[in-house]
């Protein structure tokens, strides 16, 4: 028989070529049957759905059939047949079955219904579950939608470095990168580490953001975006923080804060619409399993305008809530950085809508944000989402060299680290804006998963870097 090429299950399930000889390869999810007939559910990762294989038990070697267990991998040739049973449209009547690899009773995914905590301990195998298959297919689709969105609008994908010497956000939460022998560090007479011996001849870190280099690109190419991993050594063990995460950072020459807000809103809505249109089986599964309101929530966000609100107005609403008896863990006053509980009150209880909060006190924001005329606030914007809190952080940038220099000095950003950044303001400076979307938080929102550790294949969090 001429060798038939493998067809992905996602395509087989759409096919109506009944009577055709086909080949399917994948992993066995379940096997049931009796001494006459065996039903095997096979999944190959191309879709959440399994294909049913029907085998005449009398025609196959008993030993072979025994080896078809949950988790084993198989190659099956057979005929595509319109299914009699409910729940599937087609099935395959097997003519040959080959086992690639067996899986014995120690395979950890025998039964359904494992806890998320347990599955995190076996993160090397969890992509084989329905849930994580769905999450990672959606994750891929979101990455694709992001590139498509920006490409269609004339943005260029720009690769910013992962190793850097500057602390963009100024929060000092950086992982150091070194080839120095930590057991044998050379120090000068006054106790300082001699970095001239280090790989770069000076201290280097993993980047917390590609923004500063992104601004260099935007002031040349006009519209750019970055999309890559960034690293933050903040010791936050929450449902929404990773120490290695993926961030998308568009940066746009000639955009002011209103243009920036509009782009952020269009961008998120585009991604969510893409997920609903292209990942419907996976989203429906997650909705049924974990979060009955997921699809309604996604549709709601697309259908409604985001609320636009100044920080000062937001504080006023929160203060009124406190005056009316609402209890927050953290105090509310003008000048404070909003806690997740404050953000979620505004979004989930007060407006019941995503909120773009702008014009924050300059003390709680980075040195590069455009200063307002009031001398107190900067043209920052945070996009706050139901269930997530902050999903985007961004701003219009300060384009005036003198103002920027002054603010950098006040915030102790050393000129030797950012002299090159300052050159964008020295030579042909322009108004410009940008923002950063936390990719993993977007996936959290789109999948309805509860913990950010469950939307990235191998999460990195404090005291956890397994796999
Ligand atoms: O608000 P952030 O810190 O903004 C910046 O880094 C700017 N340089 C972005 C820019 O203007 N180009 O981070 C942006 C987003 C946050 O809103 C959040 O969604 C996500 O990145 N984020 C994290 N996600 C998961 N774990 C963490 N530890 C995160 N820190 C930030
Ligand atoms: Mg932020």
- Output the pLDDT for position 1: 54
Are the C-beta atoms of 150 and 221 separated by less than 8 Å?
Answer: no
Does the beta carbon of 393 lie inside 6 Å of ligand 1? yes
pLDDT of residue 2: 63
Same structural domain for residues 91 and 143? no
Domain that holds residue 66: 9-101
Q: Same domain, yes or no, for 223 and 274?
A: yes
pTM here is 0.97
Percent of the chain with pLDDT over 90: 92
Whose C-alpha lies nearest to ligand 1, atom 21?
438
Q: What is residue 94's predicted lDDT score, i.e. its pLDDT?
A: 98
| pLDDT tens-digit series, residues 327-382 | 999 999 999 999 999 999 999 999 999 999 999 999 999 999 999 999 999 999 99
pLDDT digits (tens, 9 = 90+) for 286-299: 999 999 999 999 99
Q: What is the CATH number of the domain that holds 44?
A: 2.40.50.140
Same domain, 138 and 275: yes
Residue 160 CB–ligand 1 contact under 6 Å = no
Count of structural domains, the chain: 2
Residue whose CA is at the smallest distance from ligand 1 atom 20: 438
Ligand nearest to the Cα of 437, by number: 1
Shared-domain flag, residues 153 and 26: no
Same domain, yes or no: 66 and 162: no
Residue with tokens 């060299």: 401
Cβ(210) – ligand 1 distance below 6 Å: no
Long-range contacts (CB closer than 8 Å, 24 or more residues apart) made by 276-281: 276/302, 278/141, 278/145, 279/134, 279/137, 279/138, 279/141, 281/47, 281/48, 281/49, 281/134
Tell me the CATH number at 382. Answer: 3.30.930.10
- DSSP letter at 78 equals E
Which parts of the chain sit beneath pLDDT 50?
none
Any atom of ligand 1 within 6 Å of the Cβ of 169: yes
CA dihedral 146, 147, 153, 156 (to 10 degrees): 130
Distance CA 407, CA 366 (A): 9
Query: DSSP letters of 190-209?
Result: TS-B-GGGSTTSS-EEE-S-
Phi, psi values for residue 28, rounded to 5°: -75, 125
Residue length of the chain: 467
Whether the CB of 438 sits within 6 Å of ligand 1: yes
Considering only CA atoms, which residue is closest to atom 9 of ligand 1?
436
Look over the chain and give the mean of its residue pLDDT values, rounded to a whole number. 96
Beta carbon of 343 within 6 Å of any ligand 1 atom: no
**Ligand 2 center to residue 433 CA distance, Å?**
15
Protein residue whose Cα sits closest to atom 6 of ligand 1: 209
Q: Answer yes or no: do 23 and 62 share one domain.
A: yes
Whether 59 and 168 map to the same domain: the answer is: no
User: Is the minimum distance from the CB of 92 to ligand 1 under 6 angstroms?
Assistant: no
User: Closest by alpha carbon to 236, among 449, 402, 461?
Assistant: 461
Distance 245 CA to ligand 1 centre (A): 9
């Amino acid at each position: 028989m001429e060798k038939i090429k493998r067809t992905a299950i996602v395509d087989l399930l759409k096919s109506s070529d009944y009577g055709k000889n086909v080949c399917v390869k994948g992993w066995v999810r379940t096997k049931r049957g009796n001494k006459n007939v065996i039903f095997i559910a096979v999944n190959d990762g191309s879709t959440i759905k399994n294909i049913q294989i029907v085998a005449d038990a009398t025609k196959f070697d008993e030993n072979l059939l025994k080896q078809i267990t949950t988790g084993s991998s198989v190659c099956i040739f057979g005929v595509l047949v319109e299914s009699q049973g409910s729940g599937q449209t087609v099935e395959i009547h097997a003519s040959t079955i080959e086992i690639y690899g067996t899986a014995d009773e120690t395979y950890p995914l025998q039964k359904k219904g494992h806890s998320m905590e347990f599955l995190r301990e076996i993160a090397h195998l969890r992509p084989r579950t329905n849930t994580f298959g769905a999450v990672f297919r959606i994750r891929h689709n979101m990455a694709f939608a992001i590139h498509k969105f920006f490409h269609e609008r004339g943005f260029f994908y720009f690769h910013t470095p992962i190793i850097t010497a500057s602390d963009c956000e100024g929060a000092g939460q950086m992982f150091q990168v070194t080839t120095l022998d930590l057991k044998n560090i050379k120090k000068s007479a006054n106790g300082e580490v001699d970095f001239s011996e280090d790989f770069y001849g000076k201290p280097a870190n993993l980047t917390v953001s590609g923004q500063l280099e992104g601004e260099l690109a935007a002031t040349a190419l006009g519209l750019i975006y970055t999309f890559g991993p960034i690293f933050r050594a903040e010791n936050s063990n929450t449902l929404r923080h990773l120490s290695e995460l993926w961030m998308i950072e568009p940066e746009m020459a000639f955009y002011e804060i209103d243009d920036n807000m509009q782009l952020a809103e269009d961008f998120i809505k585009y991604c969510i619409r893409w997920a609903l249109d292209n990942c419907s089986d996976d989203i429906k599964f997650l909705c049924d399993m974990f979060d009955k309101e997921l699809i309604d929530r996604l549709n709601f966000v697309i259908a409604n305008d985001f609320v636009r609100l100044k920080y000062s107005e937001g504080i006023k609403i929160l203060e009124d809530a406190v005056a009316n008896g609402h209890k927050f863990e953290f105090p509310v006053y003008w000048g404070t950085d909003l806690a997740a509980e404050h953000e979620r009150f505004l979004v989930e209880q007060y407006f019941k809508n995503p909120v773009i909060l702008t014009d924050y006190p300059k003390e709680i924001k980075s040195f590069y944000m455009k200063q307002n005329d009031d001398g107190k606030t900067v043209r920052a914007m945070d996009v706050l989402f139901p269930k997530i809190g902050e999903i985007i952080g961004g701003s219009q940038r300060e384009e005036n060299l003198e103002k920027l220099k002054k603010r950098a000095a006040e915030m102790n950003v050393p000129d030797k680290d950012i002299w090159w950044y300052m050159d964008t303001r020295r030579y042909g400076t322009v108004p410009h804006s940008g923002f950063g979307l936390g990719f993993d938080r977007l996936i959290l929102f789109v999948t309805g998963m509860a913990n950010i550790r469950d939307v990235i294949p191998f999460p990195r969090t404090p005291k956890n870097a397994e796999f």
